[in-house]
Amino acid sequence: MVFVIKGKSIILFGPPGAGKGTQSGLISTMTGKPQVSTGDMLREAVTDGSEVGREAKSYMDRGLLVPDEIIMQLIKMRLSRDDAMGGLLFDGFPRTIPQAMALETLTDVSMVISLVVGDDEIVSRITGRRTDPETGEIYHLEYKPAPQHIRGRLLQRDDDTEDTVRNRLSTFHKQTAPLSDFYREKGILIEIDGSGDIKQVSSSIEAIIDAKSGE
């Protein structure tokens, strides 16, 4: 069943490696809202070799945030597409208070689902993370092993090494974590324990979306 919360966007929030990319498909299917990941958009720009991509890469490789102006340009372009009319599911955006404030002028946000996971678990999750370039499916060497026949083609993201992960976490705590308070004060923050296994976290998310759709 598809629950459309019309015209309003949803934010999937959490530190890098909290499982946002893994859980976003479920939320997108349940709500009918297209998933938008600024990280994916930036990686595409890097692969295309565009000017935005070249500039973004220098920040991404160091585990730093890409400047707000670049991110807001991407978001404005995405929101202008027809399929954004019913709201979008943002994954990895906003990541700073100025981004959150700019978003307020562009779309209504109905809920912010925050996946809470501790730093040590994140480091182990991210360094074992591998992506299938053909399907975009995310695997983990230990927690979600890929089928044997596709293992040879799996890729590790350039910024998924331990040093960069530590920098990304420190960036998260300094610049992004304050957004929890921003959305808590608005009464739309829903915190979920993201440390369980994938299915457990999915069930918690499902229960919340069911409950919100019935309101």
Which active-site residues does the annotation give? 20, 95, 129, 157, 168
CB of 71 or CB of 122, closer to ligand AMP = 71
CA–CA distance, 110 with 108 (Å, rounded to integer): 6
Q: One symbol per residue from 175 to 194: x for binding ligand AMP (CB under 6 A), - otherwise; what is it?
A: --------------------
User: Quick count: other Cβ atoms within 10 Å of Cβ 10?
Assistant: 27
Three-state SS string over 54-70 comes to HHHHHHHCCCCCCCHHH
Omega before 34 within 30 of 0, i.e. cis: no
In the complex, the smallest distance separating the C-beta of residue 88 from ligand AMP, rounded to whole angstroms, is 13
Instruction: Tell me if 176 sits within 8 A of 112, measured CB to CB.
Output: no
Q: Is 39 in the site for ligand AMP (CB under 6 A)?
A: yes
Out of 11, 30, 45, 65, the only residue in the binding site for ligand AMP (CB under 6 A) is 65
Element (H, E) at 139: strand 138-140
> Which position among 15, 16, 19, 194 is part of the footprint of ligand AMP (CB under 6 A)?
16
With CB under 6 A as the contact rule, the residue among 60, 88, 117, 201 that binds ligand AMP is 60
Asked if 168 interacts with ligand AMP (CB under 6 A), we say yes
46 binding ligand AMP? (CB under 6 A): no
113: phi then psi, degrees, rounded to nearest 5? -95, 115
Q: Which of 13, 92, 117, 131 binds ligand AMP (CB under 6 A)?
A: 92
Name the residue nearer to ligand AMP (CB basis): 63 or 87. Answer: 63
Binding region for ligand AMP (CB under 6 A) out of 59-67, 129-137, 187-195, 206-214 = 59-67
Q: Does 93 contact ligand AMP by CB under 6 A?
A: yes
User: Does 95 engage in binding with ligand AMP (CB under 6 A)?
Assistant: yes
In whole angstroms, give the CA distance from residue 46 to residue 42.
6
Write the single-letter amino acid at 201: V
Q: Of all residues in this chain, which one has the CB nearest to ligand AMP in the complex?
A: 39
Query: Looking at beta carbons, which pairs linking 199-205 to residues 24 or more positions away fall under 8 Å?
Result: 201/19, 201/23, 201/115, 202/23, 202/26, 205/23, 205/26, 205/27, 205/113
**Footprint of ligand AMP (CB under 6 A):** 16, 38-39, 42, 59-60, 63-66, 71, 92-95, 99, 159, 168
